[in-house]
Amino acid sequence: MAATHQFDVNKLFGMQGRTAVVTGGGTGIGLMAAQALAANGGTVYITGRRKEALDNAVNSHHPDQRGGKIVALGPCDVTKKDDLQKIVEELQAKEKYIDLLVCNAGVAGTKATPDQEDAGNLKQRLWEHETVEAWNQTYNIDVTSVYFTTVAFLPLLQSAIEPHGPLPRFGASVITISSMSGMMRDAQGHFSYNAAKAATVHLTKLMSKEFQRAWIRVNSIAPGYFPSEMTDKNKGSDEKQKSEFPQEKIESTGHVPAMRPGSEEEMGMTVLYLARNGYVNGQIVAVDGGVLNVVGGT
């Protein structure tokens, strides 16, 4: 039975002595996850395709307590098995195990708004603004790479069981970053992205069921509107690899009950919860400000 002191937040969600890997960790939600984990004592390896972004993120964000740190790993293109194997081997030379893998790398894909009532005009709009190649690229990055990234790190994840003792038996976990867009019926003009994120949601459930035999948990965070390069394409990242989400964009949607974008701290809270709660497995946690209460979902 737990004594009261065991409910201290640092005991519940602290990451001291724990190691994580975050893909797409140089910007956006990936960087938020890395900061939250490192601020609570974790050693966090961030990887991505752009070495400059990784190095800038590491140099710009230093945990000021609890001994955590953010370390650049790679660069790595998660759509390439050779790149994935290379960073796994690079990490194995430094660490005996990892406690957490955050599969965050993703792209938005092309946009074609289905706002035509005439079927001929509707076909023209969608046919001319979308390509098979763009659809395949979106799926490859948002879904296929999540699977192969997770598979590549399975041995390092399973190796986390013993260092932390037999309880909790689920010693390590994977967090995929899907999207509320994969849980709604409104295409938002992003057929390929929404379909891919729906596949990420189901892939998470498949991996959770199948990988629990290796004592590895798999859950997903389905974000709503959060600041990132994907959501602020015009400005990208600033000198600290940070982005903004304009308030007017939230208001223009008309379907965000919270009437604001999500904060970086709120994303960090969710990452820490799924990282440390060993009794949560196979869940899709929507952090959307209530959007799915308004927009029809699955």
CA atoms within 13 A on the CB side of 128: 8
Cα 4 to its chain centre, rounded Å, is 33
193 is catalytic: yes
> What residues have CB less than 8 Å from 152, skipping those under 6 apart?
81, 84, 85, 88
197 is catalytic: yes
Query: Catalytic one among 45, 97, 139, 193?
Result: 193
> What residues have CB less than 8 Å from 254, skipping those under 6 apart?
none
Q: What is the DSSP letter of 87?
A: H
Distance CA 86, CA 63 (A): 27
* Residues comprising the chain, all counted: 298
CA angle 44/237/191 to nearest 5° reads 90
Query: Catalytic one among 45, 139, 173, 178?
Result: 178
Distance CA 27, CA 41 (A): 20
178 is catalytic: yes
Query: Catalytic one among 45, 197, 220, 225?
Result: 197
Distance set, CA 164 to CA 19, 99, 167, 187, 215 (Å) = 12, 10, 7, 44, 13
CA angle 192/270/169 to nearest 5° reads 105
Active site residues: 178, 193, 197
